[in-house]
C-alpha cells in the first residue's frame, strides 16, 4: 500500500500530459485497465489482514475516484482543443468579396435563329417546331424521294433502332423539309370544310443530322425551312421574299442573290441560292446559303391539296452558314467546341 501515493502521482501526471485521445486511453489502461497498476492493488485487497482492509479499501477507492476524475477532465480538454483546431481550420473569412455571377450569352447560331424568326414573323410567317426523330415517310417518301434514293443509305442518315407506333422506320431528320409536310397536313386538317383555306406561310427552324463531319459539316447542324403555299405564289415571290430576307439579315443592300438551277426531288424547278457581297472580306465570291424551289406537285398532293390549284415555294437554309457569313467565321466546328474565348465574342 505504500506504493499507492507514488502510483497516483504518476498516473495523474500521465493522464494530464496525454497529448491526444489515444495516449489518454493508453494511460487509462496502464492504471485502471484489467491489468492496470491500481487494479492490481484492488485485487490484492482480499489478501490483507482484516484489520487493514477497510482503510486500504477506502484509500484505493479514493485514489480510483481521483484518477477517473482526472481522466474525464483530460478527455474534455482534448475534445475541446480538437474542436478549436477544427474551427480554426474551417474558418470563413466573411469579409472576402464574393465571386459574382458570370454573365451568360446567346450562342451565335441561336442568335441567327432568333433573327431569322423575327424577320419572317414581320412578314406574316408562322413559326413551327417539329420532331428531330422523324419517320422515314416524312423525311423522304412524302418529299418525293424514290424508295431507292441514295440519300436514304446508312451513309448519310442516322437511323434509329426502333419503329414508330405504325411500324415505320425512324431516323434523325436529315433536313427540316419534313416540317413542310407535317405543317401543311395539319393546316389542311384544321381548315377542312372552311369556305377558303388561308395560305400556308411558315418557317420551321431546328436541328438536323447527317453522317458528316469536317470544317464545314457537323453531324448536328441547324436549318430553317420556309414554305409559302397559296393559289398564286410563284418563283418570283420566292426571289423577292428571299432577297428581302437576306438584305435584312445581313443589314445591307449591297448583296446580290443568285438562284442557280439545281435538283431536289421535292421541288421543281429547284435552285441553290448563292450570295455575293459587294464589300467586306467576302466581297466578290459566290457563297451558297440555301436550297429552294417551287414545291413539286406530288409533294402538294402529299400535303392533301390539289396541285392544280395550290402552288408555292419552299426553301431550306443552313443557320450555321448564315452565321459564318455574318460574322466571318471560317470553321463550323467552333460553334460546337464550347470554347469560351470564341463564344464570349458574341455575348
In Å, what is the CA distance from 205 to each residue of 3, 99, 178, 183? 96, 38, 12, 13
Q: Residue 145 interacts with ligand PHE (CB under 6 A)?
A: no
Q: Residue 140 interacts with ligand PHE (CB under 6 A)?
A: no
Please state the closest distance from residue 145 (CB atom) to ligand PHE, in A.
10
What is the residue-wise DSSP string for 233-254?
A: --HHHHHHHHHHHHHHHHT-S-
Please state the closest distance from residue 278 (CB atom) to ligand PHE, in A.
26
* β pairing state of 200-209 and 126-127: parallel
For ligand PHE, the closer of residues 112 and 267 by Cβ is 267
Angle between helix axes 319-327 and 235-250 (nearest 10 degrees) is 40
Q: How many binding residues for ligand PHE (CB under 6 A)?
A: 10
- Single out the residue of 314, 127, 131 nearest to residue 229, CA to CA: 314
Residues 254-273 that bind ligand PHE (CB under 6 A): 264, 267
CA dihedral 222, 224, 225, 230 (to 10 degrees): 170
Q: How many residues does the chain have?
A: 347
Please state the closest distance from residue 282 (CB atom) to ligand PHE, in A.
22
For ligand PHE, the closer of residues 130 and 316 by Cβ is 316
Q: Residue 177 interacts with ligand PHE (CB under 6 A)?
A: yes
DSSP letter (8 states) at residue 286: -
Residue 290 C-beta-side C-alpha neighbours within 13 Å: 27
For ligand PHE, the closer of residues 31 and 259 by Cβ is 259
Site string for ligand PHE, 283-322 (x = CB under 6 A): --------xxx--------------------xxx------
For ligand PHE, the closer of residues 70 and 295 by Cβ is 295
- Single out the residue of 251, 217, 234 nearest to residue 292, CA to CA: 234
Q: Among 28, 175, 201, 222, which residue interacts with ligand PHE (rule: CB under 6 A)?
A: 175
316 CB burial (10 A radius; 0-12, 13-18, 19+):
buried
Please state the closest distance from residue 102 (CB atom) to ligand PHE, in A.
37
Please state the closest distance from residue 317 (CB atom) to ligand PHE, in A.
8
Residues that bind ligand PHE (CB under 6 A): 175, 177, 264, 267, 291-293, 314-316
Amino acid at each position: 500500500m505504500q506504493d499507492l501515493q507514488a502510483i497516483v502521482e504518476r498516473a495523474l501526471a500521465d493522464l494530464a500530459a496525454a497529448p491526444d485521445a489515444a495516449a489518454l486511453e493508453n494511460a487509462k489502461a496502464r492504471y485502471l485497465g484489467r491489468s492496470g497498476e491500481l487494479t492490481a492493488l484492488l485485487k490484492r485487497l482480499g489478501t490483507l489482514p482484516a484489520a487493514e482492509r477497510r482503510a486500504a479499501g477506502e484509500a484505493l477507492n479514493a485514489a480510483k475516484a481521483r484518477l477517473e476524475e482526472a481522466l474525464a477532465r483530460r478527455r474534455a480538454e482534448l475534445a475541446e482543443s480538437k474542436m478549436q483546431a477544427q474551427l480554426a481550420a474551417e474558418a470563413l473569412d466573411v469579409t472576402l468579396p464574393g465571386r459574382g455571377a458570370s454573365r451568360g450569352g446567346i450562342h451565335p447560331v441561336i442568335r441567327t435563329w432568333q433573327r431569322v424568326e423575327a424577320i419572317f414573323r414581320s412578314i406574316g410567317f408562322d413559326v413551327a417546331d417539329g420532331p428531330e426523330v422523324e419517320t422515314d415517310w416524312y423525311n423522304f417518301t412524302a418529299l418525293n424521294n424514290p424508295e431507292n434514293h441514295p440519300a436514304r443509305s446508312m451513309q448519310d442518315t442516322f437511323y434509329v433502332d426502333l419503329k414508330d407506333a405504325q411500324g415505320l422506320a425512324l431516323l434523325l431528320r436529315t433536313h427540316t423539309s419534313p416540317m413542310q409536310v407535317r405543317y401543311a397536313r395539319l393546316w389542311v386538317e384544321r381548315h377542312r370544310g372552311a369556305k377558303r383555306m388561308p395560305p400556308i406561310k411558315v418557317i420551321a427552324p431546328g436541328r438536323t443530322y447527317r453522317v458528316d463531319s469536317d470544317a464545314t459539316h457537323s453531324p448536328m447542324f441547324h436549318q430553317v425551312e420556309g414554305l409559302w403555299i397559296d393559289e398564286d405564289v410563284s418563283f418570283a415571290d420566292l426571289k423577292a421574299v428571299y432577297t428581302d430576307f437576306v438584305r435584312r439579315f445581313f443589314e445591307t443592300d449591297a448583296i446580290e442573290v443568285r438562284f442557280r438551277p439545281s435538283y431536289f426531288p421535292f421541288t421543281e424547278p429547284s435552285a441553290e441560292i448563292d450570295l455575293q457581297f459587294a464589300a467586306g472580306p467576302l466581297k466578290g465570291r459566290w457563297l451558297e446559303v440555301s436550297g429552294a424551289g417551287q414545291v413539286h406537285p406530288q409533294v402538294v398532293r402529299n400535303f392533301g391539296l390539289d396541285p392544280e390549284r395550290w402552288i408555292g415555294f419552299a426553301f431550306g437554309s443552313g443557320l450555321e452558314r448564315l452565321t459564318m457569313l455574318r460574322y466571318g467565321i471560317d470553321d463550323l466546328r467552333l460553334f460546337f467546341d464550347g470554347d469560351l474565348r470564341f463564344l464570349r465574342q458574341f455575348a
